[in-house]
Amino acid sequence: MAESAAVEFRIDRRSGVATYLQIVQQTKQALRLNLLEPGDRLPTAREVVEATAINPNTVLKAYRELEREGLVEARRGLGTFVTRTLGSAAAADDAPLRAELADWTRRARTAGLDKDDVSALFTAVLDSTFEGNQD
């Protein structure tokens, strides 16, 4: 059981996504990538506020949403702890895929695409692949 999780929230104030949802999404991403595991403690609201300069109630709202979804559990006086993961067994062996994706991303950047262009292209391909149920 880890004392404190290795997750640092990055808040993009220009994204148009509510701050609490950014925390929820980043936590879920960490769970999918097995960066957070059951028993890990999320940063305290105070730690998140110090790192991001957001309102403590925003952090608490995000943590309540994660708790409502059954992903974390608040323990009075101890903190908020991960209760289950979203990662699959396959995610543990994703190093080759991660390397290929990193190479592709570097090639896209070299070709002149910015982060938003790469994200849009990746999302379009991802959507068409999973909607069409292609291999």
| pLDDT at residue 109, rounded to an integer | 92
pLDDT tens column, 50-82: 999 999 999 999 999 999 999 999 999 999 999
As a whole number of angstroms, the distance between CA 88 and CA 40 comes to 17
| pTM of the entire predicted model | 0.69
90 Ramachandran zone, left/alpha/beta (phi>0; psi -120 to 50): alpha
Q: What percent of the chain has pLDDT over 70?
A: 87
Q: How sure is the predictor about 133, in pLDDT bands with cuts at 50, 70 and 90?
A: low
Model pLDDT, residue 122: 83
Give the residue, 37 or 135, on which the prediction is more confident.
37
pLDDT tier at 125 (50, 70, 90 boundaries)?
confident
